[in-house]
């Protein structure tokens, strides 16, 4: 194991020439300021949101491996069409990894910092795909005794996104919600939250296997968009729950519009008077992911009281403010082994994360496949 | 002229058999309650929003005329595909006409009602395509001396919609706005409001003629979506004005997404740091019309801080409440001959409104074509 003074850090670089390069750099560990700590990172997940930064617009079918076993390098081509969206990051070597957990090995001089010495903490703030990470005390949450770094690694992105959905539902005046790609890690978490909090949730999945998986963990309303009776099933589930807001991970194609149409159909089952503008109940779809990158296609057959828009965790946290945000963080930490437990397909080292065979698996962002990096594994 | 006890009223009926029937019925005039008045309607415009109720989903290429000269009847076929959206109004004979103006010929017993006797008033509340209309005092606004019914007929739908746009812009934290199909009566009004109030407005039109028309009335930013440099011109106009909210009358096709993309392009002209989620400036398109009934097609190339949704005048007025609503009404009445002046292509009687040759013209909802009905014209 390397000493804490320096360590490997994963970097993603897109060159003006149109080449992606992912590599491991040995970087000196920053000296902690008074209110900072240095954490030996032991667990950091590969989330879909990390893959966006990691591989950018590169074509993963062009991946090539080079470098050594200790310092592997991955390169791939970025198609011309994808380069425009990369303009802001060209020729800048970027660290990756939103969240993680590890052990505090060095602290600054403040009481709050010193209190964390030796503690296992969860972290947020980027650059987690590294052996050491220097960060502010308020970017850490100490984990309860008996909770491992692996158990605390995915404490922020998925748990707070799922809580952000039910919280947004409440704040915008809806009483139940819809979730798509609902068999994902995030979707399973959202089911556990809704079961615990008594919130109606309509799960939309894309296969019978995913529907079965969700029913097995207790999901009450599961509809399969690949089944022939999809629109009827969805309308019935919406009428039963009264859901008028949806969070959609898929984005492209007709699904967002279908959800709005089914919501209107569910509302009209109990409508009393004709309105040529449709119901006046506001129906909302928030797109928070882009599993399907095609255009969103919305056939407006559901009146005028509707909205479709983007939704992201960090703007949501900005909107609710630090006090509410801290409450949500504390709930996650206290339910890490139950509601917010994550499941991983594999635990890999930094070097193994750069193995093209692994990249080919996690790069698909497929439901049910989730990798955890232990940057100090066998290091 | 008929006496005030009964009069003709236009009715639109869609039968379960799939036939539209527009006819004139002789109906008794309701006796005014204490706080009501009877108005002899002298001017009522045919707005796009009226045409929706008037012809429903009927195929106007199948229009047939029957009945007599005094009591003409129009019939047309409603295609099978359009019948579902008509479910709520089947076999119900519906009066038409959102707004109008005329002279108070009878009043209820309250002081407020009696004060209106003989006055020319503007009206809102539906069923205006009629010779007489009994309505509540608070659905009328007395017109200043020297203002005719024709000048006061279009006082509500277009003027309050245009004011609703600038008011929504302010309330949602934007500083300038975009308008599409901007050479319309409504668009010209919006230009006059924005010039008077010092608000940045980007006008999107679909032809050089429309661009010229708007420039002639003083519009500062006009971009032509049929011109080759459209996206660049739009981005430049957005950068100059800082507009991050749009009101779109067109709806279908790619325009809403193009506006969001151009907004993001304008914002990024001054962006300092790379964010893989795009700018965090919220970009909004409200669709308030449906000149293009195809699906909305949104290619998401503008980050996550965006929204597209429906916008309607009446929910807006509900949201701002009666005090603010009254202020907006008073502004319209005081600027009826300037900012809120409407222009009509033709003035027709109720019978002439049912002439297939006229229906063929106003039924197109074309920019620059606007009909006014005088239900007591030569009656």
Quick check: B304 and A295 CB within 8 A?
no
Angle CA(B232)–CA(B237)–CA(B240) in degrees, nearest 5?
Answer: 125
Show residues of chain A in contact with B88, CB under 8 Å: 268, 271, 273-275
- The structure tokens listed for B146 are 């020297």
Q: How confident is the model at residue B1 (pLDDT cuts 50, 70, 90)?
A: very low
Nearest-angstrom CA–CA distance, A74 and A72: 7
Interchain contact A168–B (C-beta under 8 A): no
CA distances from B80 to B58, B87, B295 (A): 10, 12, 19
Q: How confident is the model at residue B190 (pLDDT cuts 50, 70, 90)?
A: very high
Interchain contact B276–A (C-beta under 8 A): yes
Nearest chain B alpha carbon to A90: B274
Please give the DSSP secondary-structure letter assigned to residue A130: B
Please give, rounded to a whole number of angstroms, the shortest distance from the CA of A216 to a CA of chain B. Answer: 33
Please give, rounded to a whole number of angstroms, the shortest distance from the CA of A63 to a CA of chain B. Answer: 21
ipTM: 0.83
Interchain contact A286–B (C-beta under 8 A): no
User: Of all helices (H) and strands (E), which one includes residue B230?
Assistant: helix B230-241
Of B56, B295, B305, the CB nearest to A310: B305
Quick check: A300 and B312 CB within 8 A?
no
Quick check: B85 and A298 CB within 8 A?
no
Show residues of chain B in contact with A315, CB under 8 Å: 280, 304-305
Q: For A114-171, what is each residue's pLDDT tens digit?
A: 999 999 999 999 999 999 999 999 999 999 999 999 999 999 999 999 999 999 999 9
Sequence-distant (6+) residues with CB within 8 A of B221 are B200, B201, B202, B203, B237, B240, B241
Q: What's the pTM value of the predicted model, to 2 decimals?
A: 0.86
Please give the DSSP secondary-structure letter assigned to residue B138: G
Show residues of chain A in contact with B89, CB under 8 Å: 274, 276
Quick check: A300 and B298 CB within 8 A?
no
Interchain contact A379–B (C-beta under 8 A): no
Nearest chain A alpha carbon to B299: A295
Mean pLDDT of chain B: 94
Instruction: Look at residues A260, A350, A366, A312 and name the one whose alpha carbon lies nearest to residue A43.
Output: A350
Average pLDDT score over residue span B43-62: 93
CA dihedral A332, A333, A338, A344 (to 10 degrees): 90
Interchain contact A91–B (C-beta under 8 A): no
Average pLDDT score over residue span B149-170: 97
Taking only Cα atoms into account, the Rg of chain B, rounded to an integer number of angstroms, comes to 22
Please give, rounded to a whole number of angstroms, the shortest distance from the CA of A92 to a CA of chain B. Answer: 10
Contact (CB, 8 A) for B133 and B97: no
Quick check: B88 and A311 CB within 8 A?
no
CA–chain centroid gap for A227, Å, is: 27
Nearest-angstrom CA–CA distance, A282 and A280: 6
Q: Is A233 left (phi over 0), alpha (psi -120 to 50) or beta?
A: alpha
Show residues of chain B in contact with A311, CB under 8 Å: 304
Q: For B240-292, what is each residue's pLDDT tens digit?
A: 999 999 999 999 999 999 999 999 999 988 766 666 678 889 999 999 998 89
- The structure tokens listed for B259 are 């506006």
Quick check: A306 and B304 CB within 8 A?
no
Interchain contact B269–A (C-beta under 8 A): no
Q: Can you list the alpha helix ranges (DSSP code H) found in chain A?
A: 48-55, 80-83, 111-114, 149-152, 157-171, 185-197, 208-216, 230-241, 255-268, 313-334, 350-353, 356-362
Q: For A322-353, what is each residue's pLDDT tens digit?
A: 999 999 999 999 999 999 998 899 999 999 99
Name residues 124-153 of chain A within 8 A of B (Cβ): none
Q: For A42-82, what is each residue's pLDDT tens digit?
A: 999 999 889 999 999 999 999 999 999 999 999 999 999 88
Show residues of chain B in contact with A280, CB under 8 Å: 315
Calculate helix-pair angle for B313-334, B157-171, nearest 10 degrees. Answer: 110
Q: For B84-142, what is each residue's pLDDT tens digit?
A: 888 889 999 999 999 999 999 999 999 999 999 999 999 999 999 999 999 999 999 99
Contact (CB, 8 A) for B111 and B35: no
Percent of chain B predicted with pLDDT > 70: 97
Of A277, A300, A312, the CB nearest to B312: A277
Only one residue has tokens 């692994």, namely A358
Q: For A286-295, what is each residue's pLDDT tens digit?
A: 999 988 989 9
Interchain contact B317–A (C-beta under 8 A): no
- The structure tokens listed for A96 are 């990756």
Q: For A6-45, what is each residue's pLDDT tens digit?
A: 999 999 999 999 999 999 999 999 999 999 999 999 999 9
Nearest chain A alpha carbon to B318: A280
Q: How confident is the model at residue A1 (pLDDT cuts 50, 70, 90)?
A: very low
Q: Which of B309, B317, B319 to mutate to test the interface with A (most CBs of A within 10 A)?
A: B309
Nearest-angstrom CA–CA distance, A356 and A371: 14
């Amino acid at each position: 194991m390397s000493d804490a003074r320096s360590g490997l850090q994963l970097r993603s670089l897109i060159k003006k020439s149109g080449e992606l390069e992912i590599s491991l750099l040995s970087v000196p560990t920053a000296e902690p300021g008074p209110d900072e700590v240095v954490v030996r990172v032991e667990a950091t997940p590969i989330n879909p949101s990390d893959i966006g930064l990691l591989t950018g617009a590169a074509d993963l079918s062009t991946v090539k491996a080079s470098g050594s076993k200790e310092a592997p390098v991955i390169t791939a081509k970025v198609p011309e069409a994808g380069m425009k969206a990369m303009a802001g990051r060209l020729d800048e070597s970027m660290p990756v990894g939103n969240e993680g957990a590890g052990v505090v090995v060095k602290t600054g001089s403040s009481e709050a910092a010193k209190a964390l010495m030796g503690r296992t903490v969860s972290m947020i703030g980027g650059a987690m795909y590294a052996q050491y990470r220097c960060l502010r005390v308020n970017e850490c949450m100490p984990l309860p005794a008996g909770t491992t770094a692996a158990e605390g690694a995915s404490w922020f992105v998925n748990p707070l996104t799922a809580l952000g959905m039910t919280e947004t539902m409440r704040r915008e005046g809806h009483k139940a919600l819809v979730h798509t790609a609902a068999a994902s890690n995030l979707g399973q978490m959202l089911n556990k939250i809704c079961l615990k909090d008594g919130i109606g949730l309509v799960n939309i999945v894309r296969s019978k296997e995913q529907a079965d998986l969700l029913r097995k963990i207790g999901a009450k309303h599961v509809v399969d968009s690949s089944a022939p009776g999809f629109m009827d099933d969805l309308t019935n589930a919406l009428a039963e729950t009264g859901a008028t807001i949806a969070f959609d991970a898929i984005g492209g194609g007709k699904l967002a519009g279908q959800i709005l149409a089914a919501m209107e159909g569910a509302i009209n089952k109990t409508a009393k008077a004709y309105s040529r503008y449709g119901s006046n109940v506001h129906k909302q779809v928030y797109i928070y992911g882009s599993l399907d990158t095609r255009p969103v296609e919305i056939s407006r057959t559901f009146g005028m009281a509707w909205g479709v828009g983007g939704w992201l965790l960090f703007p949501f946290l900005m909107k609710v403010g630090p006090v509410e945000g801290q409450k949500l963080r504390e709930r996650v930490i206290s339910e890490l082994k139950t509601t917010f437990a994550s499941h991983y397909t594999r635990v890999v080292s930094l070097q193994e994360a750069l193995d093209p065979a692994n990249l080919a698996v996690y790069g698909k962002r497929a439901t049910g496949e989730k990798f955890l990096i232990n940057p100090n594994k066998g290091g």
